[in-house]
Amino acid sequence: MTRRCCLGLVATGLINTHLSADEVDGSNQANRTRTLSTSKVAPGRVKTKWATEYRVGRFQVHSDAPMVASKSSPAGEFVQAAAAGQAATSSQLDHKKVAAELIAVQRDVERTLKIQPAESTIHVVLFHAEHEYNRYLSAYFPKLPRRRALYLQDRGPGMLFAYWHADLLEDLRHEVVHAVVNDEGQSPPIWLDEGVAEYFEVPAGQRFAGSPHLPAVVAKCNDATSPSLAGLAKVKSMAEFTEGYYRDSWAWVHFLLHRNRPLRRQLVRYLADLRSGTPVEPLEKQLQRTCPDLHQQFVAHFRHFASRQG
């Protein structure tokens, strides 16, 4: 499993079960049972059994392992205890960092893309280990493609699923972007949804010139090659959305955000039109019309980075 993704469950028909935890592992151990309320479950019938739950901004975090104060980490800082008997390290399992990152990336996305802050709840479900994450998703969403983290959007609250590992914060940033840009109205096309998520998934200070995608895109542009935006726009399912499409989508989003102000405004306006439900011409067609030398501008944009590196 490598990449992360966003799935609209209403559109795909994938939501065919409710989130009732006891069936997942067939046990009643208090620290193994989990229940997450969704619009499919009558609230009064739901018992919350997550070992750790807390609210930060619009995020309701649920975790399957107890959160304890760490003796080794600074006072007031919390870490999550991993599986029974296993010591958690504060660098890996720091809920304070998680909470700060959720809020920070949400604000970055809203500010950059001029998205009005929403108040609806986003559930963040964190598992202490990959096998628990897999078991949960297999039980409740057996038809979903396997990804390292997921954001699921039903008519009810958005749900973000991930597990603890070294790059957890990167995964959370990626999925929070999906949550913010899919909040209202019509979802963006896959390439744009994933491209924006790839852009924001790196720490804020690395977004302009520090993405791991950048060297490959610069190399292509040095050969005067730009990825086909029309080709990207034809990819209509996550199953077809392979690794190279993430890189190419990131490149187009980076180009639109940083090439010049008119292009950034065009991207922001397109996303606003989608959110408001305004019928809108596909962005790739708008760009062909408003920017006749799109390919040349794209290549020049990334060649600039080659000269910076040189």
213 binding Zn ion? (CB under 5 A): no
- Binding to Zn ion by residue 79, rule CB under 5 A? no
Residue 160 near Zn ion by CB under 5 A: no
CA distances from 16 to 122, 127, 143, 150, 160 (A): 20, 22, 9, 17, 17
Q: Which stretch binds Zn ion (CB under 5 A): 28-36, 67-75, 189-197, 283-291?
A: 189-197
Is 4 a residue that touches Zn ion (CB under 5 A)? yes
Total residues binding Zn ion (CB under 5 A)? 5
Nearer to Zn ion, 179 or 197 (CB): 197
Nearest approach, Cβ of 181 to Zn ion (angstroms)? 10
Rounded Cα–Cα distance for residues 248 and 254 (Å): 10
Q: How far is the CB of 243 from Zn ion (least distance, A)?
A: 12
User: Nearer to Zn ion by C-beta: 6 or 267?
Assistant: 6
3-class state of residue 94 by DSSP: strand
Binding to Zn ion, residues 49-68 (CB under 5 A): none
Closer Cβ to Zn ion, 59 or 151, answer by number: 151
For the CB of residue 177, give the shortest distance to Zn ion in the complex, in Å: 8
Question: Is residue 179 a contact point for Zn ion (CB under 5 A)?
Answer: no
Residue pair 90/73 in contact by the 8 Å Cβ criterion:
yes
Alpha-carbon distance of 156 to 175, in angstroms, equals 17
Nearest distance from residue 200's CB to Zn ion, in Å?
Answer: 11
The answer to whether 103 and 173 are in contact (CB under 8 A) is no
Cβ(198)–Cβ(251) below 8 Å: no
The dihedrals phi and psi of 68, each to the nearest 5 degrees, come to -130, 155
- In angstroms, what is the minimal distance from the CB of 308 to Zn ion? 28
Beta bridge partners of 163: 127
5 belongs to the binding site for Zn ion (CB under 5 A) = yes
How many residues would you count in the chain? 310
**From the CB of 178, what's the least distance to Zn ion, in Å?**
6
Q: Choose one: 18-26, 187-195, 204-212, 268-276; the region binding Zn ion (CB under 5 A).
A: 187-195
Return the number of the residue (90 or 182) whose C-beta is nearest Zn ion.
Answer: 182
Neighbours of 242 (CB within 10 A): 12
> Interface with Zn ion by CB under 5 A: which range of 4-12, 70-78, 79-87, 300-308?
4-12
Tell me which of 162, 197, 253, 274 binds Zn ion, using CB under 5 A: 197
Nearest distance in Å: CB 213, Zn ion: 14
> Are β-strands 150-153 and 158-163 bridged in parallel, bridged antiparallel, or unpaired?
antiparallel
How many Å apart are CA 148 and CA 201, to the nearest integer? 14
Angle at the Cα of 135 from the Cα atoms of 246 and 165, rounded to 5 degrees: 55
Compute the least distance from the CB of residue 6 to Zn ion, in Å: 5
**Nearer to Zn ion among residue 5 and residue 233 (C-beta):** 5
CB-count exposure of residue 156 (10 Å: 0-12, 13-18, 19+): middle
Q: Which residues bind Zn ion (CB under 5 A)?
A: 4-6, 194, 197
